[in-house]
Structures are given as structure tokens and as C-alpha cells.
């Protein structure tokens, strides 16, 4: 739940109050958590803060801080049925691409959804396809469908999607990270990260990362209002 104070409104007419009764906005489900978190990671320092708390596997995959402005794409779609997939978030940060999937389920308590593993592998295949096309010197998608790596599928997409794919090919990406955010604690993640990693097919410049929603709730890089909004959104959707 986002609580919007009346302070801003009242200051505009010369009255100052801290009454918190103006409006309540509820962000529902995994999309709500995704929106709350990634619209708040709006500068370089916050993004680097977020990325350093992720548990990477192999551990040598841990990346260095970047100092270029992050570019965040929330809910891009590369085709649900016949395409490459629909990541929750894609982040272009320096020469790194982060593909993020948010789950309210817990691996420790009942496991992740049955379709998670196929869906996550499709996102990895998306990155592998991007790297293949970039390495080949391909500049444009054109009208011909793209053959998806490690599958028998082809991806074409709408004009906007093809244009975004071309942008990714042109960005000089060197490392690809696939990040799972789930309802698991940090100590459990550190002990079981290899178990999740082993279920997928990665290649040389493609890495896995995992972070829990409990860790996200404790982030100190946000102002008090934003931190409260993220915490309440997570708690509301984990009831």
C-alpha cells in the first residue's frame, strides 16, 4: 500500500500538516512488487546497491560497480507462446544486461511454480540468442524471424519489440545475468543457489543470481517513504 501524505498538497496553499489520509494505492501481485521496486531504483548508486546484494553463482560472477546511468525496461515482451518470453525486468547497466524474474513463491516452502523453470530457461535462451546475433555482426532484424538459441522456435514480434531487440544487439553487452527474486531468506539462498543453477543451461558469459524479498525489504538506499512503500507492497502480497 502506498500512502500519499497531504503535506505536499497543503504546502501549495500555505498550510503544513502531516495527516496521512489522502489516498491509498495497492500494488497487486508479483507485478506490483516489480513495479514498486524497479521504479524506485532510479539512479546509479541505488542500482549498484541492489546488484551487490545478489548472491551470484558461480561466485566469480560477482560484478564490479558500474558508473553509467542504468536503463530499466519493466515488463518487456518478446512473445508469450511462440516467442522468447516475457521477463519482468531487463536492465542495461554499463556493458551488463540483467534479466529479472520476480516470484512471490518460496523455494524453501513448497517450491517455485511448476512453469518457472521452463520460463526462466527461455529468458536465458533470449540472452544467448542476443549474444549470438551480436557476435555475428547482425545489425537489424528485418522482416525475417530470429531463430531462438537452443530451441526450434522462431521470434519475430511487433515493430516495437523488434526495434528494442536491435537496440540490445547494438549496446555492446559483454555479460548477461539472470536474476531470481523470491520469497526466500539469504542464508537459504547461499546454501541452495547451486541447486537452482544446475537446472539451467548457461554459457560462458551468462550467469545466475538470486536474492530474497526479505533482503529487499531491508534495503537502506531509499528514503523513508519509498522504503515503507516497498515494504508494505511486499508484505501485502505475501499474506
pTM of the model: 0.85
The DSSP code for 110 is B
Residue 142 pLDDT: 67
Least confident of 59-68, 70-79, 109-118, 193-202: 59-68
Q: Any idea of the CA torsion for 105, 35, 80, 178, to the nearest 10 degrees?
A: -70
Residue that wins the pLDDT comparison between 60 and 169: 169
Q: How confident is the model over 155-165, as pLDDT tens digits?
A: 777 778 888 88
Q: Which helix (H) or strand (E) holds 177?
A: strand 175-182
Least confident of 33-37, 92-96, 133-137, 194-198: 133-137
Q: Is 10 left (phi over 0), alpha (psi -120 to 50) or beta?
A: alpha
pLDDT exceeds 80 at position 14: no
Task: Using the Cα atoms of residue 61, residue 64, residue 68 and residue 69 in order, give the sign of their dihedral.
Answer: positive
Q: Which helix (H) or strand (E) holds 71?
A: strand 71-74
Residue 161 pLDDT: 80
Is residue 218 within 8 A of residue 186, CB to CB? The reply is no
pLDDT exceeds 70 at position 175: yes
Is residue 149 within 8 A of residue 130, CB to CB? The reply is no
Amino acid at each position: 500500500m502506498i500512502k500519499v501524505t497531504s503535506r505536499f498538497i497543503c504546502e501549495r496553499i500555505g498550510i503544513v500538516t502531516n495527516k496521512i489520509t489522502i489516498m491509498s494505492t495497492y500494488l497487486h501481485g508479483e507485478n506490483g512488487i516489480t513495479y514498486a521496486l524497479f521504479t524506485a531504483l532510479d539512479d546509479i548508486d541505488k542500482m549498484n546497491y541492489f546488484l551487490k546484494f545478489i548472491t551470484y553463482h558461480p561466485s566469480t560472477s560477482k560484478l564490479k560497480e558500474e558508473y553509467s546511468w542504468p536503463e530499466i525496461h519493466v515488463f518487456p515482451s518478446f512473445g508469450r507462446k511462440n516467442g522468447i518470453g516475457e521477463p519482468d525486468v531487463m536492465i542495461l547497466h554499463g556493458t551488463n544486461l540483467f534479466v529479472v524474474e520476480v516470484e512471490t513463491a518460496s523455494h524453501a516452502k513448497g517450491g517455485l511454480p511448476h512453469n518457472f523453470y521452463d520460463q526462466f530457461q527461455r529468458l536465458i535462451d533470449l540472452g544467448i540468442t542476443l549474444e549470438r546475433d551480436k557476435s555475428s555482426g547482425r545489425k537489424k532484424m528485418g522482416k525475417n524471424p530470429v531463430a531462438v538459441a537452443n530451441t526450434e522456435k522462431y521470434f519475430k514480434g511487433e515493430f516495437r519489440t523488434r526495434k528494442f531487440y536491435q537496440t540490445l544487439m547494438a549496446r555492446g553487452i559483454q555479460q548477461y545475468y539472470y536474476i531470481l527474486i523470491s520469497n526466500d531468506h539469504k542464508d537459504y539462498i547461499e546454501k541452495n543457489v547451486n541447486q537452482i543453477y544446475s537446472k539451467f543451461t548457461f554459457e560462458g558469459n551468462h550467469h545466475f543470481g538470486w536474492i530474497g524479498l526479505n533482503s529487499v525489504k531491508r534495503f537502506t538506499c531509499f528514503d523513508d517513504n519509498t522504503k515503507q512503500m516497498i515494504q508494505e507492497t511486499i508484505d501485502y502480497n505475501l499474506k
